Amino acid sequence: MSINLAMNPAGAATRGMATSWGVLTAISLCHMVNDVMQSLLSAIYPLLRAEFALSYAQIGVMTFAFQVTASLLQPLIGMATDRHPQPRSLPFGMISTLGGVLMLATAQHYAMLLAGAMMIGVGSAVFHPESSRVARLASGGRFGTAQSLFQLGGNFGQSMGPLLAAFIVVPLGRPAVAWFAVAAALGVAILWRVGAWAETRRRAGAAMPDRSLPFPRATIIRAIAVLAVLTFTKNIYTASMASYFTFFTIEKFGLGAQGAQIMLFLFMLGMAGGVMLGGVIGDRIGPLRVIWFSILGVLPLTLALPHVGLVPTGALAFAIGLILASAFPAIVVFAQELVPGRTGMIAGLFFGFAFGMGGIAAAALGVLADSQGIEWVFGLCSVLPVLGVLAIFLPRRPVAG
């Protein structure tokens, strides 16, 4: 596969300049590879639970190990690369992910599973801040569209993980996970090219950020805190779906492993569509309106999900993923415009810290599932989107983006 990474190598990533679609496609493809590996971890939980006799709490701790590793490192890496951009670091993040996948495939005990999950978390921590910066550099001012295309790769990768697990790993066994290292190796090669493109632009000094703040500092701090809470609650719900939705459908409807993975795929597919629509529409109507649509639209659906039959559950899972994910590119663009020149820090905060807090919640939900039952946990999670009303505290004046 040939990707033109030379498109517009020296153009500034500002409004009125050409969008570097080749670079955006490449970084989105690598985001897909990265997140296939991540979603594969949760997708093979039923296999791991059966093979290693794991409890729900141990499943939650694995999610915790992966997400919190990324959470602790991403904001730090983002802040460091805001001062000293390191686009050449991108392939090394993918190498860590590759190692984690191989460890999951060959693990002989629970500690190795945890180590593999943490290596995937390290890869995610290195990949997201710098790749988000590259996406913004290549946007040509279409920040929402670029962020959506970047995230689309990730969400598509997350949606593919359950299907790949269902039709490759389940029939062939856990060692088949090692075959996914081939895709990671391809990602390393592509990211080497992407890193070279971004380094050329950085050395040319083509994107010197304007760091003037659009609002008073107190307003910005309050807005970032609200956006972080919104992302946190959405990630808790997403983590509950990624970690336990397969178990929920197996327990409630008596599905087999493949059927449960297909149900999870519907949710992930909806997220992939939502993340693309959210950024494109946000460029037209503003990110704040997209955030409000996501908040108002998803709550009735999450409340209904635990109480309907099999077919409506699949339809609701898709719709929830679609609406829930539409807010995330809008949140990231809104935050990046609030704090100009801090793209890495914002990416680390919203891809990392809030994502990792979702991991802590996943571990807690695992403990609750062991004691109260998986259906009770989904009833609890169904009310989480109500916290989205905190968006009332976001600045009303439109933020450019």
Identify the sign of the CA torsion 246, 248, 251, 253. negative
Cα 53 from Cα 56, distance rounded (Å) = 10
Tens-digit pLDDT profile for residues 296-311: 888 899 999 888 999 9
Cα 319 from Cα 313, distance rounded (Å) = 10
Q: Which residue has the higher pLDDT, 263 or 16?
A: 263
CB atoms within 10 A of CB 5: 22
User: Residue 17: which pLDDT band, with cuts at 50, 70 and 90?
Assistant: low
Q: How many secondary structure helices (H) and strands (E) does the chain include?
A: 15, 0
Out of 91-100, 322-331, 375-384, least confident range:
375-384
Out of 6-20, 45-59, 204-218, least confident range:
6-20
Cα 42 from Cα 135, distance rounded (Å) = 27
Q: Give me the CATH topology for the region 21-393.
A: Growth Hormone; Chain: A; (1.20.1250)
CB atoms within 10 A of CB 259: 15
Q: Could you give the C-alpha distances from 112 to 117, 298, 305, 368, in angstroms and in order?
A: 9, 38, 35, 25
CB-based contact 352:304 (threshold 8 Å): no
Using alpha carbons, select from 338, 321, 341, 237 the residue that is nearest to residue 271. Answer: 321
Whole-structure pTM value: 0.70
Tens-digit pLDDT profile for residues 236-285: 888 788 778 888 888 888 888 788 888 888 998 888 888 888 888 888 88
Average pLDDT in the 121-149 region?
85
Residue 164, both tokens: 């790949």
The one-letter code for the residue type at 364 is A
Q: Could you give the C-alpha distances from 157 to 117, 160, 299, 383, in angstroms and in order?
A: 17, 5, 25, 27
Cα 34 from Cα 15, distance rounded (Å) = 29
Mean pLDDT of the chain: 81
Average pLDDT in the 367-377 region?
83
**For the chain, domain boundaries:** 21-393
Cα 75 from Cα 353, distance rounded (Å) = 7
Average pLDDT in the 12-35 region?
78
DSSP class per residue in 267-292: HHHHHHHHHHHHHHHHHHH-HHHHHH
CA atoms within 13 Å, Cβ hemisphere of 9: 12
Using alpha carbons, select from 138, 133, 166 the residue that is nearest to residue 7. Answer: 138
Residue 203, both tokens: 């050395």
Cα 132 from Cα 129, distance rounded (Å) = 5
Residue 50, both tokens: 């059966």
